[in-house]
Amino acid sequence: MAKTRTAFFCRNCGAQSPKWIGKCPSCGEWNTYIEEVIQRSEPGASMAVASRQTAVPTLITDIAFSSESRIDTHNGELNRVLGGGLVPGSVILVGGEPGIGKSTLMLQVALTMPAIRVLYVSGEESEQQIRMRAERLGMGKNECYILTETSTTAILNHIAGLNPGAVIIDSIQTLTSESIDASAGSISQIRETASELQRYAKTANIPVFLIGHITKEGSLAGPKLLEHMVDTVLQFEGDRNYGYRILRSVKNRFGSTSELGIYEMQGDGLREVSNPSEILITQHEEPVSGTTVAATIEGLRPMLIETQALVSTAAYGTPQRSCTGFDTRRLNMLLAVLEKRSGFKLGVKDVFLNIAGGLRVDDPATDLAVVSAVLSSSIDIPVSSKTCFAAEVGLSGEIRPVTRVEQRVSEAEKLGFGTIVISKLNLKAARSSAGRIKIQPVGKVEEVFRLLFG
């Protein structure tokens, strides 16, 4: 029998150390190192050896490949984020805050895959609780089996007897492996149970969903190795004060990581939002200063989002800079450009910025909408509700071009906007896709101010 080996792991980021240390060198947290067993038992080792012996080298040109082998989840937003559907044998990790709707999303997916037998394994809820939620979501003709179990050995035995087409684990923090003598949720247990499920997914060619918890900092709980073991990491996020939820791809070996899916939380489950532009733009009864609309792109999807700014005289000595859904450092850069290059005195004023709908954007094309909203609030003159913006602002005050301007123009025209303000360098491409919408090119921030406010 092999001697038991232990190591110390950080509970916050999963960093490993041979001895206890007070401050984690990876994440900087104090007193987060705990001792965990890392020595595998002999059955687990023999299983790994056996799995290695069954694999043989294959010439790459002899490997069968089909681009149409993805499995349809019958959930358009999830298919979009995954890159077109489930890849057989893939392991998908879904993370999010407690109560955000991870279990609801996964159970809804399990109930809407009629042609595939799905095994939903829960270590947190009873069968009656899951049935109550399924009644609320609406049960159609499906083959969804429920299993309340936490032992990976028992789970794999049930899987072998049921032979499902997909497996959902809720959640990975509740599972335990017999080869590790540690409590459920510990770093060594999460690593070992995830390894066993990954080995099953690859050998049986069956997709496996793993639901995971996140820490208070917003990162996935458990060792960092967990994110490297899986094929796809999905982040389910949203503000509880809003009814909308966003599904992002943080890592995806089979598709793009820039895609995003939007859902609306309702009483009967999560509703897919096929046209997010209509819900992200607030309808005002009368024009409001400090409000503009930006034409942005998330992955392959063009969207129009509302940008709200509030500029007021600083009540204290140091002006405040606050952002919701936008990078604060980028806002500071844009304010510095307005003051240095264009002469707008904003250094003694508080500036608050909000992206409506609880969405977070990183597209540089939002810059011009942010600048226009700040100027509008500063002089208290509203911008026309039929005007939108799509351009980046450079450090010298120039209006820089953005990619895929044709899709932005088409989306703005489809939603009834009369004018779109873009960079002069995007004029040729924008005109090729424009219909009745007016294209307004600008080259400097000063031109934007004259265009909007005279």
Nearest to 312 by CA among 371, 379, 372, 366: 379
CA dihedral 65, 68, 74, 77 (to 10 degrees): 90
pLDDT value of residue 372: 95
Name residues whose C-beta falls within 8 Å of residue 410's C-beta, 6 or more positions apart in sequence.
Answer: 302, 433
Q: What angle do CA 77, 206, 51 make, to 5 degrees?
A: 140
The order of strands in the sheet holding 6-10 is 16-17, 6-10, 33-37
Question: How far apart are alpha carbons 261 and 254 in whole angstroms?
Answer: 16
Tell me the pairing of strands 33-37 and 6-10.
antiparallel
Average pLDDT, the chain: 86
Query: Which tokens in the block code for residue 399?
Result: 């209006």
At 153, the amino acid letter reads: T
Question: How far apart are alpha carbons 295 and 387 in whole angstroms?
Answer: 10
**Spatial contact of 373 and 402, defined as CB atoms under 8 Å apart:** no
Question: How far apart are alpha carbons 99 and 244 in whole angstroms?
Answer: 13
pLDDT value of residue 360: 85
pLDDT value of residue 308: 95
Query: Which tokens in the block code for residue 372?
Result: 């226009």
Per-residue pLDDT tens digits for 195-252:
999 999 999 999 999 998 876 666 676 667 788 889 999 999 877 667 788 898 989 9
Nearest to 224 by CA among 95, 105, 121: 95
The pTM is what? 0.78
Per-residue pLDDT tens digits for 22-53:
998 888 888 888 887 765 545 444 344 334 44
φ/ψ (deg, to 5) at 310: -135, 120
Question: How far apart are alpha carbons 43 and 40 in whole angstroms?
Answer: 8
Q: What angle do CA 368, 371, 375 make, to 5 degrees?
A: 140
